[in-house]
Amino acid sequence: MNGTYKKTPRDSVLRTSDIKRIFQEHGLTPKKWMGQNLLINRSYLNRIVEAAHVGPGEPIVEVGAGLGVLTEGLLDCGALVWALELDSGFFRLLQEKFAGVPAVELIHADALKYDFRALAATLGKLRVVANLPYNISSRLVFRFLDNRDIFHSLCILLQKEVAERLVAEPGTKDYGALTALLGVFGEARLLFNIPGKAFFPVPDVTSTLIRISFPDVPPVSVSDGKLLIRLVKTSFAGRRKTLRNTLKKGVQPDVSPDLVTQAANEAQIDLSRRAETLTPQEFGRFADAIHIGLG
């Protein structure tokens, strides 16, 4: 992909009347079940692009391109954009809007099923800049984390409560499996909030831009990343239960309850604790002790 995008003057805010006209002309409507709340305030869109530090010629993956407004902001910075959109109506609009623009590659696909590895094989490590669909945002972050070796960073817009959970401290009610895993494999930082009035339709929630990076040397070193992920997910499966109860059937078929107990002793993990009290470092130490026990 190559080529440049011709910049055009833009208002700071897209008027609701204009959005409704676009929807009417193209027979579109935002689908609540798909989590489609479109960010239409260009000032905030510009802030997102600025926070993402997008440079000329840089390949960027956008998930849920919608009306292509963020896509335009990325193009204005000289980025090369691979824009995923699942909704057929929005995808047809994007095809019309970016016809003849070589700096955009439109992909009609479900981000939960799309082969990001094939794209990374062509582009190298991927950078994501996106307003993620609300209804699949947590599942997408899990998917990015599971494939962290092909992602450099994510600069993504999430519901405020979801974003805050990703940076929650151990021992708090917001601390969960994804929080712990990001603490092991990545670095997450909240950037700024965006009010509901900046979206169409207007949601009942505030959104937050968060930056997540996956450094080559992760914050916590672990011998078996897959084992650690299974350990964390199993530990949080019964949030109000102790580790002794959640792990009593083991972590995976070759990890017996006796091995779990032995590893916990080696790692100095009290199995009467609950999962949300363990730090990412403790989960890493626990997983390594299990790994050693497996021989």
48 with 74: CB under 8 angstroms?
Answer: no
* pLDDT value for 16: 73
pLDDT number for residue 30: 66
Token pair listed for 184: 């092991």
Q: What is the pLDDT of residue 124?
A: 97
d(CA 212, CA 154): 5
pLDDT attached to residue 292: 97
pLDDT (0 to 100) of residue 18: 78
8 Å CB contact between 13 and 41:
yes
Q: How far apart, in whole angstroms, are the C-alpha atoms of residue 194 and residue 200?
A: 13
220-252: b or e for each residue (b if 16 or more CB lie within 10 Å)?
A: bebeebebbbbbbbbbbeeeeebbeebbeebbe
pTM exceeds 0.85, yes or no? yes
Q: Is 91 exposed, middle or buried, given 0-12, 13-18 or 19+ CB atoms closer than 10 A?
A: middle
What is the model's pLDDT at position 249? 85
Give per-residue burial for 133-152: e unless 16+ CB within 10 Å, then b: bbebbbebbbbbbeebebbe
pLDDT along the chain (295 residues), means of 10: 57 69 78 70 92 95 94 94 95 94 97 98 97 92 97 97 97 96 98 94 93 97 96 92 93 92 98 97 98 94
> How far, in Å, CA of 131 to CA of 156, rounded?
6
Q: Which two tokens mark 76?
A: 């204005």
First vs last Cα of the chain: how many Å apart?
Answer: 48
Name the token pair of 132: 């993620």
